[in-house]
Amino acid sequence: MRATAWLLCLHGCLLWAVVAHAQTPAPLRWGGDAEGGAPFVEADPSDPTKVSGFDVEIAELVAAQLGRPSQFIQIAFQSLDQSAGRGDFDIGLSGIEDIPARRQSLAASVPYYEFREVMTVRAADRERFRTLADLRGKRVATLGGTMAYDLLLEAERRHGLTAVSYDEDVHPYSDLANGRVDAVVLDHVLAERAMRRNTGLVTHVDALAIGHYIIITAPENTALRDRVDTILREAMRDGTLERIFRKWHVWNTDQPSLFARVLGTSGTPGTSGTLGTPGTLGTPGTDVPPGTLSALQLYLPSLFRAALITLSLSCFAMALAVALGSLIAVGRVYGDPISRALLTAYVEVMRGTPVLLQLFVIYYGLSSVVRLPAFIAALLGLGLNYAAYESEIYRSALEAVPRGQLDAARILGFTNFQALRLIRAPQAFRLALAPMTNDFVALLKDSSLVSVITVVELTKQTQIFATNIGSWLVPGLMCAAIYLVMSLPLGYLARRLEERWRMPGA
């Protein structure tokens, strides 16, 4: 009797545990990028964990149909594929495009929205620039790692325009408005939003290509992907998706025919069989993602070109940093109190704020005053920033030259400037060489930051490469090897010079 009561009690406990567990299922973690903003995913400015947008509502719809609460995870747009592969989230959606490489490396849902790649130009150029062929020799902006970017790379070869890649979709349009670029090619959803934000722009309604948004999951998670497909189809059938798209003002006549094709009720023969493959983008030959080896052949020249940009940018920026840093150091050692204070302030501000912020200010912040080309802005940003660090090295090196030598120089009749030029600076330079080399190697790597102002250097090119083949392994190793090839000889040369010039006690 006692035993029965005990068993009953245990049974009750177990039952309670199971029910309790069933009542709080694991949340559906969904990844998206709130930097993309409305109407996709927009964060509440006062509480960034609260997001809204049509992608948010679709994610919540999927979660609700699965009987799980939803949990938003912020992932940078360019990293969504990698994060999905790693399993950082269960499903990813944030205007993610349906491209072959993605379908090959991840599990992808049926398309849930059809968009047009459209071209936006300044109103004054409405007649002049109607197609990509009209843009020979012009700069055309888009978001990096997208179908639109591939479209522009193709147009670069065919029509001789220059594709400019941005990390977000706001500045392509503001740079179009202020004349830095002559056209922007992006999804019509983004174009319409940008037209509301910038005056004086027009978008040609003709689609340059058709694309679709999809939901991605980790490659092995096909079971979840199949559930998502079922839920999306049901939402197409019962009008839930239409309601969501109408609410966010992105519903148009392209969608019913997409839905019809996805649901297999379309009268057009053949289309239902090609579900999930992209629309009319690209030449047939490029639809199949190339193998890693042939991709390497394809990308190697552009990696080397990008490496050349990294190297030349670093060299010019370092030259500027050395020249300006020397002047600052001399000013701080020999100057009057006022110039010393001003120079100290410069050094503290440049060292105390992120170089990323300085690049933004120089490129975008000053664009109303002076519209610098991206490479020049990058060179200035890195050079001005590193000048602060160099000046500190030179200042302490100048002060490390024994005072007694300067006394000796004075008695011998040298002027201050002569003593600096002939005695102090040459010795300071030998002392500064090792930390300078360090800084140059650091600058070589920091130069990867300039991709935020549209300069495609080695790291950015590697990222594009990796996105297109859906793997970081080979591009990452290639990129690392090129950086090492650039930095190792420098370190070797510096060590040689250091040995030759070694100072007593140094």
Report the b/e string of 151-174 with b at 16+ CB within 10 A: bbbbbeeebebbbbbbbbbbbbbb
What distance in Å separates the CA atoms of residue 418 and residue 399, rounded to the nearest whole number? Answer: 16
For another protein, which is the closer residue by CB, 133 or 422?
422
Residue type, 30: W
CB of 424 vs another protein, minimal distance in Å: 9
Closer to another protein by CB, 99 or 431: give it. 431
Residue of the chain from 251, 316, 375, 414 that contacts another protein (CB under 8 A): 414
Residue from 104, 426, 484, 490 touching another protein (CB under 8 A): that is 426
As measured in angstroms, the least distance from the Cβ of 364 to another protein is 46
Collapse the DSSP code of 41 into the 3-class scheme (helix H, G, I; strand E, B; otherwise coil) and give the result. Answer: strand
- Considering only 412, 481, 484, 493, the residue that binds another protein (CB under 8 A) is 412
In the bound state with another protein, the residue whose beta carbon lies nearer, of 349 and 408, is 408
Which 3 state secondary structure label does DSSP give 42? strand
Q: Which of the ranges 124-132, 199-207, 385-393, 404-412 carries the binding residues for another protein, by CB under 8 A?
A: 404-412
The yes or no reply on residue 423 touching another protein (CB under 8 A) is: yes
For residue 416, state whether it binds another protein (rule: CB under 8 A).
no
Q: What is the 3-state secondary structure (H, E, C) of 311-349?
A: HHHHHHHHHHHHHHHHHHHHHHHHCCHHHHHHHHHHHHH
In angstroms, give the least distance from the CB of 401 to another protein: 8
Which residue lies nearer to another protein by CB, 419 or 449?
Answer: 419
List strand residue ranges (DSSP E) for 246-311, in order.
none
**x-or-dash string of contact with another protein, 427-466, rule CB under 8 A:** x--x------------------------------------
- DSSP code, position 424: I
Query: Minimum CB separation from another protein for residue 409, in Å?
Result: 8
Question: What is the torsional sign of CA 207, 57, 109, 266?
Answer: negative
Q: Is the separation of the CB atoms in 148 and 191 below 8 Å?
A: no
Among 15, 408, 481, 493, binds another protein (CB under 8 A): 408
- Shortest gap between Cβ of 498 and another protein (angstroms)? 13
Contacts of 107 (CB under 8 A, 6+ apart): 216, 217, 218, 219, 220, 221, 222, 224, 225
Number of residues that bind another protein (CB under 8 A): 19
d(Cα 472, Cα 112) in Å, to the nearest integer? 28
Evaluate whether 491 touches 436 at the Cβ level (below 8 Å): no
Query: Does residue 405 interact with another protein by CB under 8 A?
Result: yes
> At closest approach, how far in Å is the CB of 502 from another protein?
8
Residue 489 interacting with another protein (CB under 8 A): no
Are 32 and 198 in contact, with CB atoms under 8 Å apart? Answer: no
Q: Closer CB to another protein, residue 184 or residue 428?
A: 428
The residue among 240, 218, 211 whose CA lies nearest residue 91 is 218
Q: Would you state the structure tokens that stand for residue 305, as one six-digit string?
A: 């070109």
Q: What is the CA radius of gyration of the chain?
A: 29
Per CB under 8 A, which of residues 344..403 are in contact with another protein?
A: 402
Nearer to another protein, 250 or 436 (CB): 436
Nearest to 121 by CA among 188, 165, 181: 181
Among 410, 480, 484, 485, binds another protein (CB under 8 A): 410
Binding residue for another protein (CB under 8 A) from 14, 357, 418, 484?
418
Q: Per rule CB under 8 A, is residue 137 in the interface with another protein?
A: no
For position 481 contacting another protein by CB under 8 A, the verdict is no
Q: How far is the CB of 326 from another protein (least distance, A)?
A: 17
User: Do β-strands 201-213 and 113-122 pair in parallel, antiparallel, or remain unpaired?
Assistant: antiparallel
DSSP 438-485: HHHHHHHHHGGGGGGGT---HHHHHHHHHHHHT-SHHHHHHHHHHHHH
Look at the chain and count its residues: 506
Residue 501 is a binding residue for another protein (CB under 8 A): yes
72 DSSP 8-state letter: E
Kindly state whether residue 287 participates in binding another protein, applying the rule CB under 8 A: no
Write down the least CB distance from residue 506 to another protein, Å: 9
AA letter at 468: N
Tally Cβ neighbours within 10 Å of residue 185: 27
- Of 307-315, 361-369, 419-427, 455-463, the segment contacting another protein by CB under 8 A is 419-427
197 binds another protein (CB under 8 A): no
If one asks whether residue 503 binds another protein (CB under 8 A), the answer comes out as: yes
417 binds another protein (CB under 8 A): no
Our finding on whether 504 is near another protein (CB under 8 A) is: yes
Question: For binding to another protein (CB under 8 A), which residues are involved?
Answer: 402, 404-405, 407-408, 410-414, 418, 422-423, 426-427, 430, 501, 503-504
